[in-house]
Structure 1
Amino acid sequence: MRKLLPPVLFLVFVIAMALLCWGMGFSHRIGYPYNLAGLVVAAAGLVLSIAGKNLFKRRHTNILTFNEPDVLVTEGVFGHTRNPMYLGFAIALMGFAILLGGAVSSFLLAGLFVLITDRWYIAFEENAMRRRFGAEYDEYCRRVRRWV
């Protein structure tokens, strides 16, 4: 799983949602046109993820999960959540769950994505950040929450 980057996992979960929701015939709880609200939620999540990515680019820092961190970014969206890209993916998955009709399986998959992200990717990154930035990172963690 170490080679599976978060954006790829996100796409795997979107595809899994569609396959389970439509392919397996799970019941849909949100009908048309109300399910279209999921587009707004998904777009908002993707905008948040992209904002985090773009800030990393502007600061010329590593964005790849398993590479060494080289800059501690604490401004912009990182001033509100330590993981805006993951939070954005999670919000986008909730949007896709709504868009696909609100099948329970879709929401469970979104929850599973959060669990995997929290326990695997974020835990790995936080250990690397703590090793690299020490007390400065600990102070950032005291000021800004992991998710929201």
Structure 2
Amino acid sequence: MTWLLPPILVLILLILMAVLARLWPEPGLLSDPWHLLGLVPLLAGIALPLMVSRLFRRVRTNINTFRDPDVMVADGPFRISRNPIYLGFALILLGAALLSGAAVALLPALAFVLITDRWYIPFEEARMSAQFGAAYDDYRRRTRRWL
């Protein structure tokens, strides 16, 4: 399923989230105006992938999940998380769930974290380890997967 790039999955889950929140608005997560707190993770989540995208362009490596990595990047947001793009996507989904106000909207956000943690990340880590060997394994030991 190489067509299911992470941004496509996020878009599908955002649509699902909107449908679920519309069908089952209760129980609510946060009442008005507190649901606007969802803007904080949403905006942080947008910022992380944009920062990483700029970093990848600067070091001339590809960003596509299913292509071989060109360069091992361990600076910028990668000092804190091995997966800042996925962390950003999870924050986008969390923020959208909070903004929707419906508790059921958290389910797609949780689904994203589980799918990413069990499918995308292991796939990428195996390729990084094969490509960069001990350097990547050392980075992996000292840097957390998410936060």
Q: Quickly name the TM-score band, shorter chain normalised.
A: over 0.9
- Over the matched positions of the two proteins, sequence identity in percent amounts to 51
Name the residue aligned to 2:123. 124
Please give the alpha-carbon distance, in whole angstroms, between the structure 1 residues aligned to 2:92 and 2:108: 12
Q: Partner amino acid for 2:96? A: F
Give per-residue Cα distances to partners, 1:50-86, cap 9 Å, x unaligned: 1112111111101000001010000010111000000
Structure 1 residue runs of 4 or more that deviate by more than 6 Å after TM superposition = none
> SS of the residue aligned with 1:112?
helix
Between the two proteins, the alignment pairs up a number of residues equal to 146
TM-score (norm 1): 0.95
Q: Which residue of 1 aligns with 2:63?
A: 63
> Quick check: 1:78 aligned with 2:100?
no
SS of the residue 1:131 aligns to: helix
User: Which aligned pairs between 1:34-53 and structure 2 lie closer than 5 A?
Assistant: 34-53=34-53
- Equivalent-residue separation in structure 1 for 2:104 and 2:49 (angstroms): 24
Q: Matched residues in 2 for 1:81 and 1:92: separation? A: 16
Distance 1:69 1:36 in 2: 38
Q: Structure 2: which 5+ residue stretches go unaligned?
A: none
Contact 2:29–2:35 (Cα < 8 Å) also in 1: no
State how far apart, in whole Å, the 2-side matches of 1:78 and 1:29 are: 32
Gaps of 5+ in 1: none
Tell whether 2:112 aligns with 1:109: no
TM-score when normalising by structure 2: 0.95
Q: Distance in 2 between matches of 1:129 and 1:104?
A: 37
Counterpart for residue 26 of structure 1: 25
Q: CA deviation at 1:29?
A: 2.8
8 A contact 2:24–2:104 mirrored in 1: no
Q: Distance in 2 between matches of 1:116 and 1:135?
A: 27
**C-alpha root-mean-square deviation of aligned residues, in Å?**
1.0
The residue type paired with residue 91 of structure 1 is L
